[in-house]
Amino acid sequence: MVFKKNILSKILSNGLKADFSLVLDDDSFLAALYIDGRFIPGPPLPVPLDPANEEVTHWMGNRPSVGLTTEEAKKIIKVVQLENSVLEHRKLLS
């Protein structure tokens, strides 16, 4: 994984800092979760929470997982999709 940029940071209820970063893995971009600088394996994009509550609608990570609002999840997904579309465009041009 190659780090490109930080998409979103938030302070969790336990006081730890969660960073959602854009990383290049193989031939595509994905979102990676870091808690206090330590990589947390999990899904490459926010996953809808079932059932969702009023504030938390998505999650990322696996032990611990971090809850996300709709706006936070949309921001992460949008950045990852945009970077992947640029990669696809560059492949078509070469």
Cis peptide before 43 (omega within 30 of 0): no
Which amino acid makes up residue 6? N
Residue 64: what pLDDT?
80
Highest mean pLDDT among 61-65, 69-73, 87-91: 69-73
Determine the average pLDDT of the residues in 74-88. Answer: 97
pLDDT at 80 over 90: yes
Q: How many angstroms separate the CA atoms of 14 and 33, rounded?
A: 16
pLDDT at 77 over 90: yes
12-67 confidence digits (pLDDT tens): 999 999 999 999 999 999 999 999 999 999 999 999 998 988 899 999 999 889 99
pTM value is 0.93
Three-state secondary structure call for residue 24: strand
CB 58 within 8 A of CB 74: no
Residue 94: what pLDDT?
80
Determine the average pLDDT of the residues in 58-84. Answer: 95
